[in-house]
Structure 1
Amino acid sequence: MTELTIIGKPDCHLCDVARDVVEQTLADLPEDLAESIEVTELSILDDPALYETWWERIPVVLIDGELHAHWRLAQDRLSKALCARS
């Protein structure tokens, strides 16, 4: 199982875009691969440690706890990273 984490906050336009990119990327992956990816969303407003670490870089996307991207998320790069994990 691959864990993909989106860190953002409510009412964040770039966070909405990142979420859309993740959803489209998963929809375009082979079904068995997409089903092996667990997506979690966290808000920096709910966790002071997340806020302290990431507030200047949201949205942030982590794959298995490692930084994949911040600010802007590229669908082709995300797809390649997720396929490499399978």
Structure 2
Amino acid sequence: MSEQTQPPAGDWTSGLVLVTRPDCHLCEAARETVGRVAGELGVGWREESVTDHAELLQRFSEEVPVLLLDGVQRDFWTIDEARLRRLLA
């Protein structure tokens, strides 16, 4: 039997990660989309803030929210629900 585990906080190289920043209206919409789709598909995800990680801030400061899947940038600014569903299928 396999057990699904979440990588530790700060590890954005594995799993589904939404990179956000405080007071970001696009981040709020992205959080809702990712939460809904991941919940429907039974996929775990987590949120990391650029304010907590210098590397994320340097890489994505102008693109948040950013969706990463196994460390690869898959979407930014507006999370496309149909594309997210295809990625997670």
Report TM bin, short chain: 0.7 to 0.9
Question: Does the CA-based 8 Å contact 2:18-2:67 persist in structure 1?
Answer: yes
User: Counting strand residues as a fraction of each chain, which structure ranks higher?
Assistant: 1
- Give the TM-score taking structure 1 as reference length: 0.81
TM-score by length of 2: 0.79
Pick one of 19, 28, 47 that aligns with 1:16: 28
1:82 and 2:85 aligned: no
Unaligned runs of 5+ in 2: 5-13
More helix by share: 1
Match in the other structure for 2:39: 27
Cα distance in 2 for partners of 1:76, 1:28 equals 13
Deviating beyond 4 angstroms after TM superposition, the runs of 4 or more aligned structure 1 residues are none
Instruction: Give me the whole-angstrom Cα distance separating, in 2, the residues matched to 1:27 and 1:52.
Output: 30
- Higher relative contact order structure (alpha carbons within 8 Å, sequence separation ≥ 6): 1
**Aligned-pair RMSD on alpha carbons?**
1.4
> What is the CA-CA distance between 1:57 and the residue it aligns to?
0.4
- Structure 1 alignment gaps of length 5 or more: none
Give the share of equivalent positions with the same residue, in percent.
32
